[in-house]
Structure 1
């Protein structure tokens, strides 16, 4: 796996996903982070995930790789050099308890192997991304399907916001949010990522 810097994630960036979990639709980007130990690249094998902390949910996302530091006037093509697909795994029961207490989400979002990603591919440009759906198959059946044309905050808005509040440098990545259709994972589930009709990655979940 290539060296990754900071891992930024965007919560509730698809209106229908916010609604399916009973959350308010945000008026500004909701940003949280994950530790680098959370990263795990799909390689066709098994990935071990927690199986004793309540329901584990997949949240499939488009991931952008940052090519350079942000400065006013820079274009999206200058900021993003590669994309991948991935899952922001969430311990949903843990997250629900943390939300009730007003605590940060790190225990629910930052565990080892919670940031799945496929190998990176060259950024095809915004127009191509808007024309191409990404899909998660669970055991060969469609579990989620999304397209960034449905996001609340577009890629450049996210880049500008994160740069202003946290900073962005070459090697950072952004999980850009998940569409509706999130759901639980069971031990032995095979999860496959498609970009259009191209298979970008696959792994078997092992809950321990």
Structure 2
């Protein structure tokens, strides 16, 4: 087959303890999925139906090797003066499906990782307040640094455990995965009613309270219990 232009690259994430790479298909992000974060964003934390936004595959920045080592640098993006961190539990889908029952949803999970949903907050809030899409605030290149994937067969399913982020050694975000408004299984089941999930899809499950701005040169360290920590620096 002859292409008119060069095909887009395949973006991948390392699989911890393996030489394999996990090919990324689509990134679905659950919005306002911790009650305290919903409050700090000025929204009602009641358990309404979940909502999702998407990031492009080129948002992915693989952090560390399959041994969970290393640090990556991401650019400070243009057109913002309020670049925010959002630490998240990341779910990698290994088996696709539509209309997945919540009781079977975790069977579709390949593994879990730690990730950041980096956000141009000023642009996002302006769009939100005008009733416009969030794309320029959320869906841009290198806005989703993600660590090595730990297979569910190795670590089990992540339903609880500390999730935290520090910036330059200072605590910024700290909560527990058990505080998700919509659990991993519920998010998968609900999303699959609207979109047939495919192997390689990524779900970023939402961020707890404490989101804030980072500056050029800052070092973010994100953790979720029993997963590989990530170290992400903002370019100076």
Asked if Structure 1 and Structure 2 have the same fold, meaning a TM-score greater than 0.5 normalized by the shorter chain, the answer is yes
* CA separation of 1:161 and 1:130: change in aligned 2, threshold 3 A: closer
Asked if the contact 1:49–1:114 (Cα under 8 Å) also holds between the matched residues in 2, the reply is: no
Q: Does 1:8 align with 2:28?
A: yes
From 44, 53, 62, give the equivalent of 2:80: 53
Gaps of 5+ in 2: 1-11, 13-21, 65-70
Q: Does 1:136 align with 2:156?
A: no
- Equivalent-residue separation in structure 2 for 1:39 and 1:88 (angstroms): 10
From 61, 71, 91, give the equivalent of 1:40: 61
Q: Deviation of residue 100 (structure 1)?
A: 1.9
Q: Classify the secondary structure of the residue corresponding to 2:127.
A: helix
Number of aligned residues: 205
Asked if the contact 2:147–2:228 (Cα under 8 Å) also holds between the matched residues in 1, the reply is: no
Structure with max Cα Rg:
2
Structure number with higher relative contact order (C-alpha < 8 Å, ≥ 6 residues apart) = 1
Q: Classify the secondary structure of the residue corresponding to 1:75.
A: helix
Aligned to 1:193: 222
Asked if the contact 2:91–2:113 (Cα under 8 Å) also holds between the matched residues in 1, the reply is: yes
1:164-203 equivalences under 5 Å are 164-196=193-225, 200-203=229-232
From 179, 199, 212, give the equivalent of 1:150: 179
1:78-157 equivalences under 5 Å are 78-123=107-152, 124-126=155-157, 129-157=158-186
* CA separation of 1:133 and 1:167: change in aligned 2, threshold 3 A: same
Asked if the contact 2:161–2:178 (Cα under 8 Å) also holds between the matched residues in 1, the reply is: no
- TM normalised by structure 2 equals 0.81
Aligned to 1:31: 52
Once the two structures are overlaid, the 10-residue window that deviates more, 196-205 or 79-88, is 196-205
Q: Deviations over 1:14-43 (max 9, x none)?
A: 111000110123500011101112111223
- Equivalent-residue separation in structure 2 for 1:3 and 1:53 (angstroms): 30
Structure 1 segments (4+ residues) deviating >4 Å: 71-74
- Equivalent-residue separation in structure 2 for 1:18 and 1:111 (angstroms): 23
Q: Deviation of residue 125 (structure 1)?
A: 2.5
Q: Give the root-mean-square deviation of aligned CA atoms.
A: 1.8
* CA separation of 1:131 and 1:99: change in aligned 2, threshold 3 A: closer
* CA separation of 1:119 and 1:102: change in aligned 2, threshold 3 A: same
- TM normalised by structure 1 equals 0.91
